[in-house]
A = this chain, B = another copy of it.
Amino acid sequence: MIDRRSAFIGGMTGRWRIVKLEEVTGESLERVPRLDLVVGAVTALPTAASWLLRGVTSNERYTTRSERELLVAKQPDLGRPEATCAALIPVKKSTSWWALAQDERRAILEERSEHIKTGLKYLPAVARRLYHCRDLGEPFDFLTWFEYAPADSAAFEELVLTLRRSEEWRYVEREVDVRVVRDGAE
């Protein structure tokens, strides 16, 4: 059985150097120098680490078959050598978002906010992986991890700003933006 769990650990060690960490909405995370991404189960905060955010990759909740085909055709794998920049964006949505029915959430997320379409527009430049964590009792609902080359930094800013201006983002009650660069990539 595939282990779908991963953990992001903020502290003194890790492959990624944190170059910016700021709250967008609500409470921030402690500012630390480094970020580690661990695939698999992490049951407790490691010694000398300041925070631990866990999530699981899961089935798609909104994407249709035709949207997925467009995504799959364009999306790159994580870990491209040239993608030395990355971002971890943990998001928590409001109770009112989770109280909406499936068709209402889908209508806001895509028909009105074009969340999927916006992500597609920045492929293959910005690779992305979504981790779910609401049902794990974690402090955030989602952790999104993005990887891109330094030359695509402006495109990434545009992607993030477009989403933050969308109707969907009115339901975001906590968001932190953690930007990192890979060791040896400076």
Interface residues of A (CB under 8 A from B): 3-5, 41, 56, 58-65, 67-68, 98-106, 132, 134-137
Contact = CB atoms under 8 A, between A and B. Distances in A.
Minimum-distance CB pairs A-B, first 3: A65-B101, A64-B103, A59-B98
Contact of A64 (B41, B64, B102): B102
6 contacts: A4-B135, A56-B137, A59-B99, A63-B102, A65-B103, A135-B136
Number of copies: 2
Contacts of A61: 61, 102
A16 B65 CA distance: 43
Contacts of A136: 135-136
A61 B47 CA distance: 38
B65 A104 contact: yes
Contacts of A99: 59
Nearest to A5: B137
A183 to B, nearest CB: 30
A85 B65 CA distance: 41
Nearest to A105: B59
Contacts of A5: 137
A64 B135 contact: no
Contact of A58 (B59, B63, B103, B135): B135
Nearest to A137: B5
A135 B65 CA distance: 22
Contacts of A102: 60-64, 106
B103 A135 contact: no
A168 to B, nearest CB: 15
A14 B133 CA distance: 31
Nearest to A141: B59
Contacts of A137: 3-5, 41, 56
